[in-house]
């Protein structure tokens, strides 16, 4: 089974803190994604990565950065957390090269981040 894990289910941080959200997948997926989920807005793409050390901005990258030093790990970084970054953060990855699974994303359990 595909397994995507996230480092924390719940996280509470203070305004101005640097926050790291970690995501790990165990199936050699090449593509990994970070979304935030807000009520009434669905999921919005923050950043994605096609390979190690490669990253591309999604629809709402402002205030965030990412790091992918190893293929299995994709980190989301909030350089200076703000209250408007309080949200649910979901990580996902995709299976490469298998036509039957093209574009199908597999999700982690999510991290509920609260910034006070």
Partner 1 sequence: AQTVTQSQPEMSVQEAETVTLSCTYDTSESDYYLFWYKQPPSRQMILVIRQEAYKQQNATENRFSVNFQKAAKSFSLKISDSQLGDAAMYFCAQSQGAQKLVFGQGTRLTINP
User: Which residues contact partner 1 (rule: CB under 8 A)?
Assistant: 31, 33, 35, 40-45, 48, 50, 58, 88, 90, 92, 94, 102-110
CA distances 103 to 26, 33, 54, Å, are 18, 12, 18
Query: Do 58 and 48 contact (CB within 8 A), yes or no?
Result: yes
| Least gap, CB of 104 to partner 1 (angstroms) | 6
Closer to partner 1 by Cβ: residue 47 or 115: 47
Closer to partner 1 by Cβ: residue 82 or 102: 102
Q: Give, as one character, the DSSP assignment of residue 101.
A: G
Closer to partner 1 by Cβ: residue 25 or 31: 31
Query: Do 32 and 54 contact (CB within 8 A), yes or no?
Result: no
| Least gap, CB of 35 to partner 1 (angstroms) | 8
| Least gap, CB of 97 to partner 1 (angstroms) | 11
Question: What backbone phi and psi angles, to 5 degrees, belong to 68?
Answer: -140, 90
The SS3 assignment for 83 reads helix
């Amino acid at each position: 089974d595909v397994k995507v894990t996230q480092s924390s289910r719940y996280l509470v941080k203070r305004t101005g803190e640097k926050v790291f959200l970690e995501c790990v997948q165990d199936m050699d997926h090449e593509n990994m994604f970070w979304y935030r989920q807000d009520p009434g807005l669905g999921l919005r793409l923050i950043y994605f990565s096609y390979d190690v050390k490669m990253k591309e901005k999604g629809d709402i990258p402002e205030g965030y950065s990412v790091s992918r030093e190893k293929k299995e790990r994709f980190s989301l970084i909030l350089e200076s957390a703000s209250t408007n970054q309080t949200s649910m953060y979901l990580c996902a990855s995709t299976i490469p090269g298998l036509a039957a699974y093209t574009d199908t994303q597999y999700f982690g359990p999510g991290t509920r981040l609260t910034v006070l």
